[in-house]
Amino acid sequence: MARKLNFDPPPQGTDAPNPAEEHKPSASRGRPLLGLDRPIKQASALGAISQSLGGINEKVRRAEEIEQRLVEGQTIVDLDPNEIDESFVRDRMEGSEEQALAFREMIRAHGQNVPILVRPKPNVSGRYDVAFGHRRLRAARELGIRVRAVVRDLTDEQLVVAQGQENSGRTDLTFIERARFATNLEDQKFSREVIMAALNVDKAALSRLIAVATRIPADVIDAIGPAPSFGRVRWQELVDLLDQDGNRQRAQEVISEASFAALDTDKRFEALHKRLQEKVERSRAEAWSANDGTRAAKVSRSGKRLTMTFDDRIAPEFGEFVKSKLQALYDEYKSKAS
């Protein structure tokens, strides 16, 4: 039987642990998710609250329940935010300055109502890694205040599952952020089972996420940003456009323009998609028809290249015939050009 990922608090009625002892890293860190047949089983604290999503309100409720399960029954402490490091696997892309300011002002006005979750940093005394609550942590740093946190011993697998499950329940983690998170986890050598648990997806959905994030150059994704208005279908369209001849170089030219950087993230996606689509349409092949109506060849232009293709099913051996005449055609061209 596969072992469960256990975030449950200690049984009630036991003596309260010494906070100093509670925050010490465990001497033996297991890898409880390896070998699971499915991402998170129903018996798991995380799995029990991650089986169904029903709409925006349901997603928000689910994320809040995940946080509550992970921190309930635990002592909340005030930590210096400068003692806490970002998670070793990036999930979110940077939002706009306006969004960061609005969130920071909300914390200033109403305080931090929900604690963040951190773990003692392995092999580094007095420092912590954040599992979730990155924006609350950043706001506390900027405001110069201490951050309310629950400290729990977490393995690497438990940390990324907590991080991914909490984010998956929220509505503001975009498709490309999920795709990048999946790819970052794979780059860190986490198993597919752990990544599926972190993102609450099956094998097929995970493969699609990773395929998109790996086929689009990292600097192109960074230049576009989270693009919250666009999901898998539109990002896959962008992948297909980039695969067209010359479009990867064209994309680099577009994202390097100052006017591109001045746009917001959704408009950057639209601008790049439009520019690449226009290039594809200009280079689309046109059929050449003989006087008898036979479409004997196709001609396409892409930049400074003109390409002619022949279909032997329509005009057998016509391509070979043209090839045999190339020297004569070239000599005629040279004589007229001189």
CATH number assigned to the domain comprising residue 182 = 3.90.1530.10
Which of 80-84, 165-169, 251-255 is the least confident region? 165-169
**225 belongs to a structural domain:** no
The CA-to-CA distance between both ends of the chain, in Å, stands at: 83
- What does the angle CA 71 – CA 76 – CA 81 come to, to the nearest 5 degrees? 105
The pLDDT assigned to 214 comes to 95
Task: Note whether 96 and 264 are within 8 A (CB).
Answer: yes
Same domain, 329 and 294: yes
* Owning domain of residue 271: 232-282
Q: Quote the pLDDT of residue 6.
A: 44
pLDDT at 270: 96
Tell me what pLDDT residue 114 has: 84
Domain boundary among 172, 189, 215: 215
* Residues 170 and 269 both lie in one domain: no
| Total count of residues recorded for the chain | 338
Residue that terminates a domain, selected from 215, 249, 271 = 215
Give the residue with greater pLDDT, 336 vs 231: 231
Q: Give the mean pLDDT of 5-13.
A: 45
Q: Does 74 map to a domain?
A: yes
pLDDT, averaged across the chain: 77
Residues 250 and 307 placed together within one structural domain of the fold: no
The answer to whether residues 296 and 183 belong to one domain is no
CB-side exposure of 321: number of CA atoms within 13 Å? 9
Residue 306 lies in a domain: yes
198 and 238 together in one domain: no
Sign of the Cα torsion 170, 176, 179, 185 reads negative
Q: Within this chain, do residues 116 and 198 fall inside the same structural domain, yes or no?
A: yes
Residue-wise pLDDT tens digits, 166-179: 765 554 678 999 99
Q: How confident is the model at residue 239 (pLDDT cuts 50, 70, 90)?
A: very high
Domain end among 187, 215, 243 = 215
In order, the DSSP letters of 20-54 are: HHHTSPPSS---TTTT-SSSS-TTSTTGGGSS---
181 and 243 in a single domain? The answer is no
Distance of CA 299 to the CA centre of its chain: 39
Q: Is residue 226 part of a domain?
A: no
Same domain as 192, residue 77: yes
Total domains in the chain come to 3
CB 268 within 8 A of CB 238: no
> Is the residue at 12 inside a domain?
no
Burial class of residue 59 (count of CB atoms within 10 Å of its CB; 0-12, 13-18, 19+):
middle
308 and 250 housed in the same domain? no
User: Is residue 303 located within the same domain as residue 163?
Assistant: no
CB 246 within 8 A of CB 302: yes
Tokens of 13: 């009625």
Same domain, 241 and 129: no
Same domain, 89 and 109: yes
pLDDT of 14 above 70: no
pLDDT at 100: 76
Q: Is 99 part of any domain?
A: yes
Number of Cβ within a 10 Å radius of residue 71? 22
Residues 106-125 have a mean pLDDT of 89
13 close to 48: Cβ distance less than 8 angstroms: no
Tokens representing residue 10 in the block: 């200690």
295 three-class SS: strand
Say if 70 falls within a structural domain. Answer: yes
**Average pLDDT over every residue of 129-149:** 91
- Look at residue 149 and tell me if it is in a domain: yes
